Every structure is written in C-alpha cells, then in structure tokens.
Amino acid sequence: MQIQDAGGQLTSRATYQLADLADYLARLVLPFLGALVLTTVVLLTVDVAPLDAYRILLFGAFSTPIRFGDMVMLASPLILCAGGLTLTFAAGLYNLGIEGQVVLGAIAAMIPLRLFPDLPPPLLWMLSFAFGAAGGMLWALLAASLRLGAGVNEIFAGLGLNFLASGIALYLILGPWRREGSASSSGTALLPRELWLPTVGSLRLAPLAPIIALVALVVVWWVLSRMRWGLEVRAVGLNGAAADRLGVPAVKRMAQAMAGCGLLAGLAGTLQVLGVFHQLIPNISSGVGLIGLLVVLLVLARPIWVLPVAVVFATFTVGSVQLPLTLGIDSSIAGVLQGALVLAALVSRGLMQRRRRA
C-alpha cells in the first residue's frame, strides 16, 4: 500500500512507518545525549568522575538480588502511574493530580484491611485492590468534574487535590488510625505479616506487583491503539471541539480518561501499602506520580515506550542510593539526570517542531 506524502510523492506504508520510527527514536536518543552532557557538567563541578557515577546509576540496581527486587517494586507503581497518564495525555489533559490519586488509593486500600482483619488474606487483597482502584478513580473524577463542570484548569485542580489528599492521610495517621498508645507522624501500625503480599524468598520482591503493572500497561496500549474508544480519546486530545461536532462525546471521553488514570494510580497506591511499606505513611506515594509524569513527557505519551523508560528511571533511583557510600555524593544526582532527560526531551521536541514549520 502506498501513501502520498506532503510533497505529493508516493511512498510505501512500510517506508512511512520506518521514517516515523526513526524520527521518534531520534527524539529519545537526543534527549539522552543532552542529559548526559548536562549531568556530566554537574558531576565535574563537584570533582566526581562521571563514568564512576554512571556505572553505579546504571548497574547498582543489578548488583545484588535485594537491590534488583527494590528496583522492580519501584518500577511497578511507576509503570501504573505512567500508563494511566498516557490516557489523560491522549485526551489532552495534564493530570498533575496523580500524586493525590495515589494517596487516596492507598487510603482506600487500608479501609478493608482495618475493617475486616479476620478475613482470609487473598480475599482481603482483592478487596484492598478494589477499594484502592475505586479511591484513585473517584479522586480523579473529582478533578475532572472541576475541570469539565466548573472550568477549573486540571493542573490547578490536581495540585490542590494533591495537598488535600496528603492532609487527609496525615489526619488519619495522627487521628483515627494512629498507632495504639501513641500518635506518630511516621505512619500507622504495620500490617500483620500475613497481610503483606507474598515475596520471593527473603527478598522484598512481590511478584504480583510487576504482573499487575505489566497487565495494566498492555491494556492501556490496547485500548489506545486498537479500540475505537482510544481513537476517540486521541481525537478529543487533538481537537475537542471538532471531535464533538463529529459525534464524539468529548466531555465523556475526557472524564473516562481521567477515571482510568485514577484507577491505575489507585492500584499503585495499593501496591505501596501491601507490597512496599505495609502501612500508611505521610509520603505513601514516594513521588511515583511525579516521576510518572517525567516518564510520559519523555516518551511523548506512547504506552509502548513506558516500560523501558520506567525501568531506567527506577534503576537510576535505586542505584543512586549507593552514591553517598561509594563516591561521597548525594543520591539526588539521579533526580538531576531524570530532570535533565525531560528538559532535553522538551527542548528537542520544540526544535524539531520549529524546523518542520520552517
């Protein structure tokens, strides 16, 4: 099959797809190179050998089974958040409230664990995931209602709801769910050991976490690329008014995209409770929502690239923990590299768009 390009020339679909893939890979490679240059400059200013730092960042997470398990347990909620955000980005919505949706998911996941502690663990896990997904989804729909009903920009609505969610979590930790005999801001009492998600041997790796994340990511890819619903969501994201005139229910699709993102964020919060911290803590999200935003910005909201980039970001984070011990520098250098990647990606994208317009 042949396609007519902008210049009127006929080209095969395969050639067109290869050119599109090459262009997209260039958008990934160039930001990585730019981020490496910027991070190298930062490392040199503090008299640290860049190659040593990069070796630890890239391979530190694979140096021991424990660190590898930690990387997987960080990547799993990150994949859920990033996968959900591809839905809202496709609909043209910037869901900065995803951190609050993770927190509300964690709070909701705690409800059946506290109300029905005597139920069999598998049943409690199912209830916890269901409550967590519902909590994240409802919090996302609240942001959507502010955007679609009251005209409040979803960025500001999301940021406000993030603070509110954190406040609710802290209130519960210090109030109704406080530890018996004391009120500690560090978190609620630990869940009974039998309610923790099963792990591999003595590792902190719960196999259910990556399974849930990968299944969710495949579903997101499928609905966006293979279903009519995904086509309509992307049409709304490109031009909501035009899509509405063509019979696409734009408001409904935007609300559904936000709900889907909140559902996945709620699952991420549930994993944080059942598989990582085993309690509700004030910083239960651990920033996975914000890092998910960086991932989606870097991959241009394409679900197929979420998995490798999320794993790379999780690798950087886990590997950076060893930097203070080995090189005497703060682990926050991983954040510098992640931020530089996104900044370079945005600059690269802007330059390419300017070149095309020229």
Which pLDDT value is given to residue 180? 78
pLDDT band at 271 (very low <50, low <70, confident <90, very high): very high
pLDDT tens-digit series, residues 144-192: 999 988 888 888 999 999 999 999 999 999 989 988 766 567 889 999 9
DSSP 8-state assignment for residue 119 = S
What average pLDDT does range 140-145 have in this prediction? Answer: 95
pLDDT of residue 86: 96
pLDDT in the model for residue 24:
57
At residue 37, what are phi and psi to the nearest 5 degrees?
-65, -50
Please report the pLDDT score of residue 6 as a whole number: 45
327 three-state secondary structure: coil
Helix (H, G, I), strand (E, B) or coil at 279: coil
Least confident piece of the model among 39-48, 258-267, 286-295: 39-48
Altogether, the residues listed in the chain come to a count of: 358
- Output the pTM of the full model: 0.88
Domain residue spans in the chain? Answer: 9-48+329-358, 69-325
pLDDT band (50, 70, 90) for residue 82: very high
pLDDT band per the 50, 70, 90 thresholds, residue 3: very low
Average pLDDT rounded to a whole number, residues 24-53: 75
Task: Using DSSP, state whether 11 is helix, strand or coil.
Answer: strand
133 versus 243: the higher-pLDDT residue is 133
Which of the residue ranges 253-262, 303-312, 337-346 would you say has the lowest mean pLDDT? Answer: 337-346
- Would you say residue 40 has pLDDT above 50? yes
Q: What is the dihedral of CA 192, 189, 205, 307, to 10 degrees?
A: 130
Whether 326 shows a pLDDT value over 70: the answer reads yes
The answer to whether 238 and 92 are in contact (CB under 8 A) is: yes
Query: What pLDDT, on a 0 to 100 scale, did the predictor assign at position 218?
Result: 97
In terms of pLDDT, which residue wins out, 309 or 353? 309
Statement: residue 32 has pLDDT above 60 = yes
Residue 78 neighbours by CB under 8 Å, 6+ apart: 268, 288, 291, 292, 295, 310, 313, 314
Q: Which long-range contacts (C-beta less than 8 Å, at least 24 apart) are formed by 227-231?
A: 229/253, 229/256, 230/90
pLDDT confidence of residue 202 = 84
Mean pLDDT of 126-136: 97
Answer yes or no: is pLDDT of 291 > 80.
yes
With 90 as the cut, is the pLDDT of residue 8 above it? no
Please state, as a whole number, how many other Cβ atoms lie within 10 Å of the Cβ of residue 116.
13
Distance CA 182, CA 174 (A): 9
Are 307 and 174 in contact by the 8 Å Cβ rule? The answer is no
Query: What mean pLDDT comes out for the span 296-315?
Result: 89
Query: For the chain, what percent of residues have pLDDT higher than 70?
Result: 87
Q: What pLDDT was estimated at residue 192?
A: 93
Q: Which fold has domain 69-325?
A: ABC transporter involved in vitamin B12 uptake, BtuC (1.10.3470)
Look at residue 12 in the predicted model and tell me its pLDDT. Answer: 58
Phi, psi angle pair for 12, to nearest 5°:
-75, 155
